[in-house]
Structure 1
């Protein structure tokens, strides 16, 4: 091999990696463009859409979904899925509300209690998927119904009323700083910290390696089971936090208030560019996906469009995102093979 050829190899590999980064960065930019077009069209039809209250409502409605999307994206990156998050949100929201309604507890206690329940649910999912090697779809579908049933058993048809909750918790869910809701600040902080961790720490990059090829990651010395367990634990923690945020946001809560949200969360993640087959995507894209879906829902309400079309558009976006992921994956793989042949 000549000196020139030897020097070209790393350049080719760096170029291939830059190509992959560029493709998926463009995916996130396309979401921003879609959001801009959607907001512009809706504002032209209804100028009040971008009023201060309208923007605040969008941020509040997005915060919980985006927080769940951050946790779900970490799981999906490892080539797994967590369908139990909606049920965990409901269980945490009701049980935490029951705890606070009994009196003598503050916001900090609610946060610790809710996060602990979510962590326990995530730990169960992670142990069954990583160490017992039960398929993630089966495990989380099972825990979805188990947690859902547990929530209904505890509730016994009762509901939590906002009047029974401490004012500090309700302030957390409906107030903010300089017009930015506290819930949005919490979500943005979690997103930024998670994104930085995934990109900057070896254990974070291990999650991408696991999603790309679990067997290759294992041969490379990555503790695959521990990484998958950690991903589920993290998703459970954020689901617990989202449950407390749900309680703070709405105040009045019945058993299983977030029924069906697990599919909405998965849709936000996939629309945001996190490949359902694992190994690709960012939490920033997942949050943008959540913001896009929430804005579509708000726009349809403002435009007085039947709610059926929101579900239809969500499904169409999901199918489109999966199709785009597949097409991009095939094209990127083809380009990488060509570069490998050229520089190999």
Structure 2
């Protein structure tokens, strides 16, 4: 009896994308750690987590847009504009504390996300078309703001550059911010009405409307979340990498989408979870840091990310087909 229940629990656990990702991470880490014993050192793990912290924050924002059956391709450009704006403020007004710069980034990202959301919700422009437009508009704003120049490390204050690297209880502020974002939005998606409505709109918008869910409001909300988190990430990006360049975060939307899809988020909307997205981000981080260990150039990173998206989408499609087949069989039975 006990063996049957344990077997049933294990089978159900492995059907979840989170469990599969954990297993894949373990399988991936074994040969890597054999080739490079220092790969699993505390220092290297800390480096991987800090490298992936900003991606995790951005991927959570992308998660909500995909969950609502949309996509935000403008995340890299929002990061670039907010990062440049925060860098220039820091250069011109060095007395502004780092915490205020984060708030400035949040505010700018909020406004950019609001514009995306309004265009999608009330302009009735499909999300992919809207953000294909704003990705260039926001990147253009970045060049206009900076006039093509950069803000380099020696033009920024030491307190701003040191902020992401400062630690509390042995954990960097950057990781603490990522943990807070993960916790807040995990609660939001699981235990709030609006969070559940995002799932409803993505899964079955017609049925959601019949029970009183405002699709326009949810469209605006998810793009506000994405834009605001990208604004925060832009401020952190400039401080972490000690520079603000016009081309920063180019193509970053592909990494955010890869983390979501790898984490089991349905590209058609309606299903997925924050924990899966975080594990997908961690998986990407391990792969990126493992490339030099297995003697592959970092230039393979884009290829690997594209391959991961294709494989993950194929797995998601197969999983959906199996679920639909089981549902049809149960109805007929």
Which category of TM-score, normalised to the shorter sequence, fits these structures?
over 0.9
1:189 matched to 2:180? yes
Identify which of 15, 33, 36 aligns with 1:46: 36
How far apart are residue 120 of structure 1 and its match? Answer: 0.7
Q: Is 2:116 aligned against 1:125?
A: yes
1:289 pairs with 2:280: yes
Q: Could you say what secondary structure the match of 1:159 adopts?
A: coil
In the aligned structure 1, how far is the partner of 2:325 from the partner of 2:189?
A: 26
Structure 2: gaps spanning 5 or more residues: 1-8
Whether contact under 8 Å (1:24, 1:281) holds in the other structure is: no
The partner residue of 2:53 within 63, 67, 82 is 63
Structure 2 contact 14–20 (Cα < 8 Å) conserved: no
Give distance in 2, aligned partners of 1:328 and 1:24.
12
Residues 146, 281 of structure 1: alpha-carbon distance in 2 compared, 3 angstrom cutoff: same
Distance in 2, matches of 1:24 and 1:151, equals 45
**One of 213, 221, 234 as aligned partner of 2:204:** 213
Q: How much does 1:105 deviate?
A: 0.9
Aligned 1:92-103 pairs, distance under 5 A: 92-103=82-93
- Report the alpha carbon displacement of residue 327 of structure 1 after superposing the two structures with TM: 1.0
Inter-partner Cα distance in structure 2 for 1:322 and 1:249:
32
**What CA distance in whole angstroms lies between the structure 2 residues aligned with 1:246 and 1:218?**
39
Alpha-carbon RMSD: 2.0
1:181 positional shift: 2.1
Cα distance, 1:47 vs structure 2: 1.5
What corresponds to 2:271 in structure 1?
280
Contact map agreement 1:69 1:283 (CA 8 A) in 2: no
Q: CA deviation at 1:338?
A: 3.1
Q: Compute the displacement of 1:23 (Å).
A: 7.4
Aligned residues: 324
Q: Residue 173 of structure 1 contacts residue 250 of structure 1 at CA under 8 Å; is this kept in 2?
A: no
Structure 1, gaps ≥5 residues long? 1-18
1:322 counterpart = 2:313 = yes
Task: Quote how far apart the aligned CAs of 1:341 are.
Answer: 4.4
TM-score by length of 2: 0.92
State the alpha-carbon separation in 1 of the partners of residues 155 and 80 from structure 2: 18
